[in-house]
Structure 1
Amino acid sequence: MAVLLKFLTALSLFVGAARAQGFMPVPPDDGPCPVFPVVKNFDLHAYLGRWYEIERFFNPFQDGSCVTADYALFPNGSVSVLNTDVQEGASNTIAGVATLSDDPSAGQLFVEFPFTAGFDGGDLGGNKPNYNVVATDYKNYAVVYTCEFFGPELKFEFSWILARRPYIPSSFLADLKAWLQLVNINAKRYMPTVQTDCPNRVAS
């Protein structure tokens, strides 16, 4: 019951945020969560540092521009997560914590933020990681995906395309999306993130 209440709360946020932005996003595909790949022999240390959000699936927790994610290692081995965006000209940050899954060689982590209303892997049952690195070369790009299935017509999918710079070549992005379609991730759901006119950003 607690999980269902959290889902309904998040669903209302999802619909309300979409209406506020004047559109309805492409909905998730019917059926359960897809089978998707994750990076093997994951190199956490190479993954640390700053990533710029290039595109994302619509979700109720994000509506800003100039989005970045900074990952750093805590002394205890967990990962500091600092997400930053710009809304109405003001910079905002939110801090979280990530830990590797039971298989440290897989690109799967548990990430918790204060605003996720309990939507972290451990709270949904089954201890499923909620941050799955589907693809990365560590130096240029990464794709993150997660999915939770609650039953018919009750499914949440989140995904982000990240890059080490605020832009990515359009030809590479097109090829990447074509590959994502082949591995059961609906690339039609991605929306571009504005990465221009960002305050206090040094041109790269």
Structure 2
Amino acid sequence: MKFPFVLVFAFILPLIRAQVPHWGPCPEPSVQPAFTLRQFMGRWFEIAKLPAQFEKGRCIETNFTMRTDKSIRVVSSEILKGELKKIEGTGVVEDMKNPAKLGISYSYVLPYSPYWILSTDYVNTALVYSCTDVLRLFHVDFAWILARTRSLPAATLEKARETFAKNNIDVSRMIPSRQQGCGKE
């Protein structure tokens, strides 16, 4: 029985190399109470993140817009090697009783990944968390501090980190995102 586990681990390891793996299942953080999806829509800049294999550039931002079918158009962009790269995905509210728990997919063949809004004031900042369990043996998580502007005061960033910590989310490896030299707002 060791062979299938080794095979699964060998397949997953390259996918999580830049991520932050932790033993055990995903934590269950509290999400934004009374979340209003329409107020969350719009342009968000990535201020800080846990390392992510799929984000390598600078000037990372995501724009959320409602579609007529109640799904969300998600357009993420970054500047990588001097070139603007964009990817479009779809977001959904997975449980209408808990609208701060979104699911986002950038492919028709991949399932929706969790995209949980832990906290937002809608006009300045948002704290987002995503986690995937691997056989309940370990989990890989992602965390982002987002803002409506390309920078935030240090005190705001510290408060955001405290919010993650209160929810048992280890952000000790969180790194600042590069939002300089991005061109026109």
- On whether the aligned pair clears a TM of 0.5, the verdict is yes
CA shift, 1:28, in A, is 3.2
Which one of 93, 99, 102 corresponds to residue 100 of structure 1? 93
TM-score (norm 1): 0.79
- Corresponding residue of 2:67: 74
Amino acid at match of 2:169: I
Deviation string 1:32-68 (CA, Å, 9 cap, x unpaired) is 2112111121101100000000011112111111000
Residues in 2 aligned to 1:7 and 1:69: alpha-carbon distance in whole angstroms: 31
Which one of 85, 97, 114 corresponds to residue 78 of structure 2? 85
The structure-2 alpha-carbon separation of the partners of 1:7 and 1:111, relative to structure 1 and needing over 3 Å to count, comes to farther
Q: Secondary structure at the match of 2:38?
A: helix
Unaligned runs of 5+ in 2: 1-5
Q: Secondary structure at the match of 1:171?
A: helix
Q: Secondary structure at the match of 2:76?
A: strand
- Corresponding residue of 1:192: 176
CA shift, 1:152, in A, is 6.2
Map 1:86-165 → 2, pairs under 5 A: 86-114=79-107, 118-121=110-113, 130-151=114-135, 154-165=138-149
Which one of 177, 180, 184 corresponds to residue 164 of structure 2? 180
Deviation string 1:118-141 (CA, Å, 9 cap, x unpaired) is 2524xxxxxxxx111011110100
CA RMSD of aligned residues (A): 2.4
- Residue 23 of structure 2 is aligned to residue 30 of structure 1: yes
Q: Secondary structure at the match of 2:74?
A: strand
The structure-2 alpha-carbon separation of the partners of 1:78 and 1:104, relative to structure 1 and needing over 3 Å to count, comes to farther
Alignment length (residue pairs): 180
Amino acid at match of 2:121: D
Q: Secondary structure at the match of 2:70?
A: coil
* 1:10 and 1:60 in contact (8 A); partners too: no
- Corresponding residue of 1:126: none
How many percent of aligned residue pairs carry the same amino acid?
28
Unaligned runs of 5+ in 1: 19-24, 122-129
- Residue 40 of structure 2 is aligned to residue 47 of structure 1: yes
Residues in 1 aligned to 2:69 and 2:54: alpha-carbon distance in whole angstroms: 28
The structure-2 alpha-carbon separation of the partners of 1:7 and 1:74, relative to structure 1 and needing over 3 Å to count, comes to farther
The structure-2 alpha-carbon separation of the partners of 1:5 and 1:77, relative to structure 1 and needing over 3 Å to count, comes to farther
CA shift, 1:142, in A, is 0.4
Of 97-106 and 49-58, the range deviating more from structure 2:
97-106
- Corresponding residue of 1:11: 13
The structure-2 alpha-carbon separation of the partners of 1:96 and 1:57, relative to structure 1 and needing over 3 Å to count, comes to same
TM-score (norm 2): 0.87
